[in-house]
Structure 1
Amino acid sequence: MRALRFERFGGPEVLCVGEAADPVAGEGMAVVAVKAASINPSDVMAVSGRLEGVTLPRIPGRDFAGVVTEGPDDWVGAEVWGTGGDIGSSLDGSHAERIALPVGALARKPTTLDFAEAATVGVNFVVGWLGAIETAELAAGETIAVFGVSGGVGTAVAQIAHAIGAQRIVGVSPHAPAAGTPAAGTPAAEVIDEFVPFDVHTDVPAEIRRITGGRGVDVVYDAVGGVTTPSAVASLAHRGRLVVISAIDTPTAEIDLRDFYHRELRMLGADSRKLDATASAELLERITPHFRRGQFRPLPIAQTFDLDHGPDAYRAVAEKKMRGRIVIQP
């Protein structure tokens, strides 16, 4: 089969397209013909060597959607989607014509999504659900601020919060969803109640307190982290929960510990890479009904590339040239 591969760490220039061994459906395994696979920032990090646990040589790519060609009879021919912290790291990934996976990693794709749309869901909705629902335990009637709402994870979290009945959803980002990522009319723009720009001119915690009548929010989902952490902590209500999934610009943050414990706050970490392909499939099964009912919508696609132009696709993600998701269609 043809695949995108790298044998040393570096920028998109280390990627090459060529022949790779056909995956085999051994005991407990299945083979999926990849119809579409998005590129996440973490895929770029894996190629660069900035992601822990990546072994060489490797085919990159975490998210995928495709058709099962080999495996148990009840799965052959099924349209599936998936993701996993081990895919493209310790296992060969989805930026290839085919991928081998444990049978337990198979999850049936909602018929409401085409392959390209389904390929944008994996990492973003898995870490969104993991952080908001399973880690922070966001409940109906609570308030949430989503830092990085214009990005892929932020878009997913805004939809998740809306679906479970959050009372108020505040989006925080340098770019409003109506003007940045995602583009106008997409899910995050439709479900957030208020938007607060994260810039040098705005006191974000003060704006959030104003919006919430001086109280602050029950949950902050910080999809940025690092540079945003002090503002995120200051935006919380008494006994509020902060979920952190990333650290941009700096891996450290300074907070007032006396204020932290007097307000009985909680800071929680959520890491989708701790979920392998099988655990991710189980979580996708919980998310699937929301897509079938139209409560969740996929992320906007900026451009699709064929496999031969895979390095160009990676370059577009690395250089942040495009608004929206980049998808490879092998």
Structure 2
Amino acid sequence: MKALQFTHYGTPDVLQYLEVPTPEIDQGSALVKIHAASVNPSDVKNVAGAFSHTVLPRIPGRDFSGVVERGPADWLGAQVWGTGGDIGFSSDGTHAQYIKVPIAALARKPAAISHEQASAIGVNFVVAWVGVMSYAQLREGETIAVIGVGGGVGGAVTQIAKSLGCQVVGINSKPVDPHSPAGRRIDHFVAFDEHTVARVRDIQGLAGGVDVVYDCVGGIAFDMALGLAKRRGRVVEISAVGRRRVELDLIDFYHNETQLLGADSAKLGVAESAPLMRAITQGFDRGYFEAPVIAHRYSLAQGREAYASVVQGTDGRVVIVP
């Protein structure tokens, strides 16, 4: 099969487009023919050497959508999707024509969206789901502030929160497209600057802060996140933009009884992520969630260009179509 592979770390130029053996399956695995696989910022960081658990040589790629070609009889021909913090790192990933996955990793993709759209959802929605549902345990009627609402994870958090019947305060450094899935669901938009906390607390009913803060930025936004949380509020952190070491006023922190939670989807392998993908499928099938915009499509042979476009930044998702 054709695949992208890297044998040493660096810029997207280290990716090689080459022929490699098609994976052989056993009784506990299935072979999925990949119809589409997105390129995430974490894939670019992986190729650059940012993750200590990556084993070389490696085919990168975390997200995929495709069809089961070999495996259990009841799965043959099934349209499936998935993501994982192991594939592309400690085992070969999705930027290839085929991928071998455990049978436990199989999850049927939403019927209403294409393979390309499905391939651009996994990483963002899984870390959003873990942070919102498992850790913060957001409940109907609560208010959540989403810092970095214009990004992929922020948009996913917004959709999940609205499906629960919650109020969403979107915070971003630049305006969010009001016609985007996130833009249509934001109840209040507040610009990211030194006055953000005060502006949020000026919103009717939010003088005491919000129930949950989902901080997709971290680092430079950490003080803001803590400042937005009401008494006994929950703050979810997934990133550390600008700086990885932060300070906090410990007295204010414990007086406010704030809960600080870290969420890392890379800790979930492709099999562990499957139950979350099944739950997310229900959200799409019921019309609660919308797929992201696909900005660019590339073939496997154009893999370096696909990665370079993510480095440069796009307003939509980048997808490889083998």
TM range (shorter): over 0.9
Moved over 4 A (4+): none
Matched residues, number: 321
CA distance in 2, matches of 1:299, 1:250: 29
Correspondence 1:250 to 2:243: yes
Maintained 8 Å contact 1:124/1:156: yes
| Percent of paired sites with the same residue | 50
The 5 A counterparts of 1:30-45 are 30-45=30-45
CA distance in 1, matches of 2:52, 2:219: 19
Cα deviation, 1:188-221, whole Å, max 9, x if unaligned, reads 001010111113xx41111111114411101000
Cα deviation, 1:254-280, whole Å, max 9, x if unaligned, reads 111110001111100011011111110
Question: Displacement, 1:284?
Answer: 0.8
Q: Choose from 214, 220, 226 the match for 2:213.
A: 220
Aligned residue number for residue 181 of structure 1 = none
Q: Which amino acid aligns with 2:239?
A: S
Aligned residue number for residue 87 of structure 1 = 87
CA distance in 2, matches of 1:315, 1:170: 32
Aligned residue number for residue 315 of structure 2 = 323
CA distance in 1, matches of 2:19, 2:100: 16
Aligned residue number for residue 301 of structure 1 = 294
The 5 A counterparts of 1:37-186 are 37-166=37-166, 168-178=167-177, 184-186=178-180
Correspondence 1:237 to 2:236: no
Q: Aligned Cα RMSD in Å?
A: 0.9
Q: TM-score, normalised by structure 1?
A: 0.96
Question: Displacement, 1:294?
Answer: 1.0
CA distance in 2, matches of 1:138, 1:55: 36
Maintained 8 Å contact 1:12/1:314: yes
Maintained 8 Å contact 1:42/1:51: no
Question: Displacement, 1:176?
Answer: 1.9
CA distance in 1, matches of 2:287, 2:303: 31
Cα deviation, 1:77-125, whole Å, max 9, x if unaligned, reads 0000000110100010000000000011010011101100100110011
CA distance in 1, matches of 2:112, 2:52: 35
Correspondence 1:291 to 2:284: yes
CA distance in 2, matches of 1:20, 1:318: 26
Question: Displacement, 1:51?
Answer: 1.7
SS of the counterpart of 2:220?
A: coil
Gaps of 5+ in 1: 179-183
Aligned residue number for residue 196 of structure 1 = 190
Q: Which amino acid aligns with 2:179?
A: G
CA distance in 2, matches of 1:230, 1:52: 29
